[in-house]
């Protein structure tokens, strides 16, 4: 049974049972505590928690998920994958334990001919929470399971919480017994891989508080509406139904594994270590493709870092399989073919997605090449020092700074006949992970508990009137001070205010929040920010500047009209720039993020190389031509399917509801899904001035522009500068570039003459410097300051000349100088001095310590520096003293 067929059977079954079928949400969640949708329940959290009323009594879905906390287990077990699909059925106060158990048993054990999954009851086991007698008895009543195959387990496996105050409850898990060939007898309680968990039924029935850990909390009481949250692992059911040993051999994953086998020339099933690598490649390529399809791009932080890590682990595994060159072109194309039936976007958008993958592969292959050179040097230095072990710090530096995988380090080092101090490396890795975890915990701790908005959201969605009105009368529904509900806020306090209606735009879609005030009888509130803490609810962060505000009072939101007008200009200009980019570069230049505020726009787009000045000018001209043509801006509200059929562009990773707002500028020329505020016609944008273009990653570029009056002011400032230059240089505007180039050439020529004169002057001082040589222990030393010098290279040149003049007897030269306002010391030693124990690197480092800086280098020539020019005499004297002791 194919994976897609299993999913369809599941959805068909629950649709017949009256469930609303909900499409999968993006892998990119809008929950600030999560990077990705890590479980099927994530999109339903607002409904399960009661923060937002559920739009349907029951639902079913097939949700895309990414989870990387067990990434090291990928390929080693039959069930661990970073990308997986979670089938779920949900009840929001509709049915509870009896309904969930009935549905699960019926679907699993009904014959395939009747639309079920055809599992034999004798192969199924169930676990329940040890104190949940109700669930235990229902399983006995509703299924054919004998009592010995219903096991009671503790909170660590059979109790669900988010780890935060809110809903919680016991759960019941369903397992498939793979048989005695796969492990020991005894059921799921043995925690053996023989028993594969395929479905988890969560009975969300309690409200908890005072959460001290996953297993320690206080139960406040039962939820007013008990919910059902279930999750069936699609890949797990697929590998069982397809008769293979693990998820990597199912129909959506195995083709990539087979392609890796073909490219490597190695056999699958012949070597355990190679088998793990093949599975890692198959899993990570598919996961990377699915992340790319939801708008994630490789980067060094956040979601992009996870994607980059998956890709680089795949590259590393291919290398360990003997493939040193590029392989992504074939691997990703194979994954596309395996997944496009279930997710058509990976086929229709493959050209864009593959650009990111191929660019990332090329970058990392270069990293591996350079990292190999650094590692080779480290290995050589380790062996030269007579050590048999590369330091853990060096291995960690390669891993952390250069992205060089530890297992490749181990492989190369082993081939060289030495080892790595793995214990020290692991210690450094553990410290890094702990820092990351502490940082994540601190960030999570700063997130507001959204349960405080639950009762406010239950009163209905906040009505946004700002598309047509800049002032709206409403009433105060709620006030929060310090995150705690209160009935009033007084003068000087910062508070959150919730109203029934608002004309103030909440930050979203790249557009920053409106500025403005909220006024009412006896109070005025300055609006500092406007956000949506939970879907459908607008919260205004305000400072009470006059009087006192209380819940239930009438209030009027007043938008700063000038700021709104400028923000609308910037947002419409963003759409124009996007259309101009696509006109110029092609459809591959898709949006990857944006920021719009009054007078300014920033737009990120998919593109792998810098734009030429001519291309930038062309984009700017197309966008301003659209302004000149006074194109009509229209907005329409329609279903998401209608908007897509009309060709509207959606921002990848953005979450859209069933109903969307489509913004047209000039008809289909610019047609995007957008909830932002816009001008009525393109001429109202005024002017677009592209002021910057830069890289924001291997495959993303960024353009920045000023808009409207801000654009005019920038051009006026540039005009004033040009006017000043034409006046100062006494040259017409069109001749300024040539005149400035001429002056630059003259300046460079003069600088060369000055440098030659200074070098000659310094060279003439060499005989006098030689004459200052004094004994220090067993060597002659010249330790002098040259005063102010143009560059450290000049000091080095004089030091080497003096060393040459001192002959073959043991000699050390230490010259100091002030270069650009900072002290520099150059130390040079000859062969005889080094034989006597004088090392330039050691002496330069000591001198630099006196100067308040650092230094070092080779034994023959080294450099040090610092911040304290006045300490140069003491630093040079310190070199003489050090020589006296070291070479005596």
CA separation for the pair 711, 715 (Å, rounded): 6
Q: Around 87, how many Cα atoms within 13 Å sit in the side-chain half-sphere?
A: 24
Task: Give bridge partners of residue 826 from the DSSP assignment.
Answer: 815, 863
Cα(605)–Cα(611) distance, integer angstroms: 12
Q: Which residues contact 841 (CB under 8 A, 6 or more apart)?
A: 856, 857, 858, 859, 862
Q: Please check if 674 is assigned to a binding site.
A: yes
DSSP secondary structure, 179-207, as one string: -GGGS-SS-GGG--TTEEEEEEEEEEEEE
Residue 691, Cβ neighbours under 10 Å: how many?
Answer: 15
CA atoms within 13 Å, Cβ hemisphere of 670? 28
Which residues touch 672 (CB under 8 Å, ≥6 apart)?
A: 575, 578, 648, 649, 650, 651, 662, 663
Query: Using CA atoms, how far apart are residues 543 and 524, in angstroms rounded to an integer?
Result: 9
Output the CA torsion sign for 376, 378, 380, 386: negative
HSE (side-chain half, CA atoms, 13 Å) at 714: 15
Name the residue with tokens 């992205």: 403
Distance CA 440, CA 445 (A): 8
* Phi, psi angles (nearest 5°) of residue 685: -65, -35
CA distance 226 to 206: 8
Residue 426 class from Cβ within 10 Å (0-12 exposed, 13-18 middle, 19+ buried)?
A: middle
Please choose, from the candidates 236, 306, 285, 268, the residue with its C-alpha nearest in 3D space to the C-alpha of residue 77.
Answer: 236
Annotation-wise, does 19 bind a ligand? no
DSSP codes joined into one string, 665-720: ETGGGEEEE--S---SBGGGG--EEEEEEEESSTTEEEEEEEETHHHHHHHHHHHH
Using CB atoms within 10 Å of the CB of residue 152, give its burial: 0 to 12 exposed, 13 to 18 middle, 19+ buried: middle
Q: Is 578 known to sit in a ligand binding site?
A: no
| 65 labelled binding-site residue | no
Residue for token pair 């220090």 = 776
Among the listed residues 481, 491, 488, 484, the one whose alpha carbon sits nearest the alpha carbon of residue 541: 481
Residues 72 and 311: their CA atoms lie apart, in Å, by 14
- 232 forms beta bridges with 87, 199
Report whether 871 contacts 837 (CB < 8 A): no
Task: Round to whole Å and give the CA distance between 390 and 549.
Answer: 67
- List Cβ neighbours of 617 (8 Å cut-off, separation of 6 or more): none
Known binding-site positions for Zn(2+): 571, 575, 674, 678
Known binding-site positions: 571, 575, 674, 678
């Amino acid at each position: 049974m194919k994976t897609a067929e299993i999913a369809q059977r599941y959805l068909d079954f629950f649709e017949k049972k009256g469930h609303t079928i909900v499409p999968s949400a993006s892998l990119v969640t809008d929950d600030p505590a999560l990077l990705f949708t890590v479980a099927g329940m994530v999109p339903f959290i607002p409904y399960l928690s009661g923060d937002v009323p559920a739009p349907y009594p029951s639902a079913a879905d097939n949700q895309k998920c990414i989870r990387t906390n067990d990434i090291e287990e990928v390929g080693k077990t039959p069930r661990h994958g970073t990308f997986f699909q979670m089938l779920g059925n949900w009840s929001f106060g509709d049915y509870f334990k009896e309904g969930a158990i009935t549905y699960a048993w019926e679907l699993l054990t009904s014959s395939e001919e009747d639309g079920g999954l055809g599992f034999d009851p004798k192969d199924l086991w169930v676990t329940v929470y040890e104190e949940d007698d109700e669930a235990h008895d229902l399983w006995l009543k509703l299924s054919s399971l004998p009592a010995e195959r219903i096991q009671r387990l503790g909170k660590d496996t059979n109790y669900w919480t988010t780890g935060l105050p809110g809903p919680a409850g016991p759960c019941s898990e369903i397992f498939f017994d793979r048989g005695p060939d796969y492990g020991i007898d005894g059921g799921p309680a043995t925690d053996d891989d023989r028993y594969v968990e395929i479905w988890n039924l969560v009975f969300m029935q309690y409200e908890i508080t005072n959460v001290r850990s996953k297993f320690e909390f206080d139960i406040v009481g039962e939820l007013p509406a008990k919910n059902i949250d279930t999750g069936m692992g699609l890949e797990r059911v697929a590998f069982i139904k397809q008769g293979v040993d693990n998820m990597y051999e199912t129909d959506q994953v195995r083709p990539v594994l087979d392609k890796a086998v073909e490219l490597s020339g190695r056999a699958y099933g012949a070597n355990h270590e190679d088998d793990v690598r093949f599975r890692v490649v198959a899993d990570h390529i598919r996961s990377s493709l699915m992340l790319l399809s939801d708008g994630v791009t490789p980067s060094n932080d956040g979601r992009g870092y996870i994607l980059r890590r998956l890709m680089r682990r795949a590259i590393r595994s291919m290398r360990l399989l003997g493939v040193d060159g590029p392989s992504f072109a074939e691997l990703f194309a194979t994954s596309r073919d395996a997944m496009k039936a279930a997710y058509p976007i990976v086929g229709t958008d493959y050209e864009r997605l593959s650009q990111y993958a191929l660019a990332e592969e090329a970058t990392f292959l270069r990293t591996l090449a350079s990292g190999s050179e650094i590692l080779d040097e480290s290995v050589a230095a380790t062996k030269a020092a007579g050590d048999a072990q590369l330091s853990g710090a060096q291995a960690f530096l390669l891993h952390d700074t250069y992205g060089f995988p530890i297992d490749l380090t181990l492989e190369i080092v082993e081939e060289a006949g030495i080892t790595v101090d793995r214990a020290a490396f692991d210690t450094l890795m553990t410290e890094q992970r702990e820092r990351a975890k502490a940082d994540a915990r601190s960030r999570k701790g700063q997130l507001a508990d959204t349960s405080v908005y639950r009762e406010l959201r239950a009163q209905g969605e906040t009505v946004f009137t700002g598309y047509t009105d800049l002032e709206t009368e409403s009433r105060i529904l709620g006030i929060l001070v310090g995150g705690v509900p209160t009935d009033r806020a007084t003068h000087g306090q910062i508070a959150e205010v919730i109203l029934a209606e608002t004309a103030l735009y909440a930050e979203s879609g790249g557009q920053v929040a409106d500025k403005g005030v909220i006024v009412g009888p006896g109070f005025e509130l300055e609006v500092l920010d406007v956000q949506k803490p939970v879907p459908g609810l607008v919260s205004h962060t305000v400072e009470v500047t006059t009087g006192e505000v209380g819940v239930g009072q009438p209030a009027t939101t007043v938008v700063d009209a000038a700021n709104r007008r400028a923000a609308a200009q910037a947002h419409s200009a963003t759409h124009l720039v996007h259309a101009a980019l696509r006109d110029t570069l092609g459809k591959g230049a898709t949006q990857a993020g944006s920021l719009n505020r009054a007078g300014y726009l920033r737009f990120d787009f998919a593109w792998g190389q810098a734009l030429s000045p001519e291309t930038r000018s062309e984009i700017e001209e197309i966008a301003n031509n659209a302004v000149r043509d006074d194109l009509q801006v229209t907005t329409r509200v329609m279903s998401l399917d209608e908007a897509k059929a009309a060709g509207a562009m959606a921002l990848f990773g953005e979450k859209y509801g069933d109903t969307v707002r489509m913004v047209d500028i000039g008809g289909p020329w610019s047609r995007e899904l957008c909830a932002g505020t816009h001008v009525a016609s393109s001429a109202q944008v005024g002017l677009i001035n592209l002021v910057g273009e830069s890289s924001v990653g291997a495959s993303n570029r960024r353009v920045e522009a000023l808009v409207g009056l801000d654009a005019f002011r920038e051009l006026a400032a540039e005009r004033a500068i040009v006017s000043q230059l034409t006046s100062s240089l006494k040259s017409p505007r069109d001749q300024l570039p040539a005149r400035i180039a001429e002056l630059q050439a003259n300046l460079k020529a003069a600088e060369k003459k000055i440098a030659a004169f200074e070098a000659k002057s310094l060279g003439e001082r060499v005989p006098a410097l030689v004459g200052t040589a004094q004994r220090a222990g067993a060597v002659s030393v010249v330790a002098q300051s040259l005063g102010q010098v143009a560059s450290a290279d000049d000091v080095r040149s004089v030091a080497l000349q003096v060393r040459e003049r001192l002959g073959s007897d043991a000699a050390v030269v230490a010259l100091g100088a002030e270069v650009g306002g900072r002290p520099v010391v150059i130390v040079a030693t000859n062969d005889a001095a080094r034989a006597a124990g004088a090392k330039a690197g050691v002496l330069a480092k000591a001198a630099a310590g006196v100067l308040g800086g650092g230094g070092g280098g080779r034994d023959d020539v080294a450099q040090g520096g610092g911040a304290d020019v006045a300490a140069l005499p003491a630093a040079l004297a310190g070199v003489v003293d050090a020589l006296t002791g070291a070479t005596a």
